[in-house]
Amino acid sequence: MFDAQINNLKNNSHLNAIVHDLSNDPVFLDKTDGILSGKSIAIKENIHLKGIGLSCASKILQNYKSIYNATVVERIKKAGGAILATTNMDEFAMGSSSEHTIHGVVKNPHDITRVAGGSSGGSAVAVASGMVDLALGSDTGGSVRQPSAFCGIYGLKPTYGRISRFGLVSYASSFDQIGIFSNNVKDMSNLFESISGNDEKDSTSALEKVKPYLFNEKKYKIGLPEEYWGKGIDPEMRKILDKFIAKLKSDGHDVKSISMPKTEYSIATYYILTTAEASSNLARFDGVQYGHRENADNPIDMTIFTRNFGFGDEVKRRILLGTFVLSSGYYDAYFEKAQKMRRLIQKDFKNAFEEFDILLTPTVPTPPFKIGEKMDDPLTMYLSDIYTVPMSLAGVPALNLPIGETKSKLPVCIQAVGDFFNENELFNFAELCN
């Protein structure tokens, strides 16, 4: 079983997508009668898989082994899927390129001089290069959609609360969602159905029922938010995107533009709120409870040395930013203001879905960039998330789907955004476009 995938796993180690290759003894191979039976799955290395190392690509957790299974892992087991590998990522899921990692920079299978995207770059590459049928990642501001766009596959960020996060290492808890990578819609909807739904171990998981997905031929009311379709999109990509939209119109879908005026504040709002939450979530890595410890002759030095040694530069930058925006005197000016703006951004989406079934936007502004290109410039790195963070601020589901490629054979994708808990509408649209 899984001969082709195991071959691809073994032959593609130069892509640095995999942290733990479990293919010699896949986890849960024994159950063969579920909706996922016969499917091989990889999971991002920030999701707990009992007995297997969980480093989150960080020195601070380098020697940590998980002691329990995440709810998604238990549900994969119940549905008969087999876990073949854990995947590389940006440290603690902070990044857009999978370059901030102790396991080596993840490479794009379409051009190994380019990044795979991040932070779930390893999961995207594992699916795009046929090492597994499906993979899980986490998406806080685009970490499933952006790497799936860079690798030319399907990538879903579900509605906030749709999938239990019990066993996902937290980055920014009011944003984090587990998401799915696949090569086709059917596999994705099956994995989605298997793992979503309420979980008593995660109080933020939604009660909303998960309905099975069934394809239906329909004409869509599609909104194109004009703030996403301005300058700044790579011209070659733009042509392919425009052609795709023109085809939708000629197929009889009702396509109109719409304004979502608060979009321009998304990046600033996102990086204030997520760093604030991260600074608090990462306080638990203190040399006492988990992972690495640097010894010193007093507890304060021990904590300082441990965190200084254990965290990489990007993680430190975020902890500092987050601590700053939460500090007294700056709390009102930054954190509270950003929370208000988040509400207004969400309102833009709610208004849009009174009129439209789905919204379409580019997923990324450019094809995958070169390895090293943005490493010394965090701001331009942050700007590569410009089209994915608004949905995370609002909590709505969004799906990246492949629609073509550039002359140099780099993938071109589009992002379909749905109303709360309407992932099935996104699957349906993606299948219709196939």
Interface with ligand GLN by CB under 6 A: which residues?
93-96, 119, 138-143, 171, 274, 385
364 with 413: CB under 8 angstroms?
yes
Kindly tell me which of 142 and 402 has the beta carbon lying closer to ligand GLN: 142
Contact 85, 132 (CB under 8 A): yes
> Is 44 labeled as catalytic in the residue annotation?
yes
Catalytic residue among 97, 123, 138, 143: 143
143 flagged as catalytic:
yes
**Nearer of residues 40 and 392 to ligand GLN, judged by Cβ:** 392
Q: How many CA atoms does the CB half-sphere of 64 hold within 13 Å?
A: 26
Nearer residue to ligand GLN within complex by CB, 93 or 222: 93
In whole angstroms, how close is the CB of 394 to ligand GLN at the nearest point?
A: 14
* Active-site residue identified among 39, 44, 157, 262: 44
CA–CA distance, 404 with 433 (Å, rounded to integer): 12
- Which one from 119, 120, 129, 392 is the annotated catalytic residue? 119
CB of 145 to ligand GLN, least distance (A): 8
* Cα distance between residue 188 and residue 104, in whole Å: 28
Active-site residue flag, 13? no
Residue closer to ligand GLN by CB (options 281, 306) is: 281
Angle, nearest 10°, between helix axes 185-195 and 71-78?
Answer: 110
DSSP code per residue over 84-136: EEEE--SGGG--SSS-S-TT---EETTEEEEE--SSSHHHHHHHHTTS-SEEE
Dihedral sign (CA 202, 208, 213, 219): negative
In whole angstroms, what is the distance from residue 60 CA to residue 390 CA? 31
Specify the DSSP class assigned to residue 335: I
Of the pair 12, 388, the CB lying nearest ligand GLN is at 388
Residue 363 beta carbon to ligand GLN: minimum distance, rounded to whole angstroms: 13
User: Shortest gap between Cβ of 395 and ligand GLN (angstroms)?
Assistant: 14
Nearer to ligand GLN, 79 or 94 (CB): 94
Cα separation, 291 vs 32, whole angstroms? 36
Which residues are registered as beta bridge partners of 362? Answer: 414
| Cα of 71 vs its chain's centroid, Å | 18
Q: Which residue is nearest to ligand GLN (CB)?
A: 143
Could you tell me the smallest distance in angstroms from the CB atom of residue 201 to ligand GLN? Answer: 22
CA 325 to chain CA centroid, nearest Å: 25
Q: Which is nearer to ligand GLN, 154 or 356 (CB)?
A: 154
Q: For residues 167 and 331, give the distance between their C-alpha atoms in angstroms, rounded to a whole number.
A: 30
CB of 274 to ligand GLN, least distance (A): 6
Angle subtended at Cα 385 by Cα 149 and Cα 326, rounded to the nearest 5 degrees: 145
Active site residues: 44, 119, 143
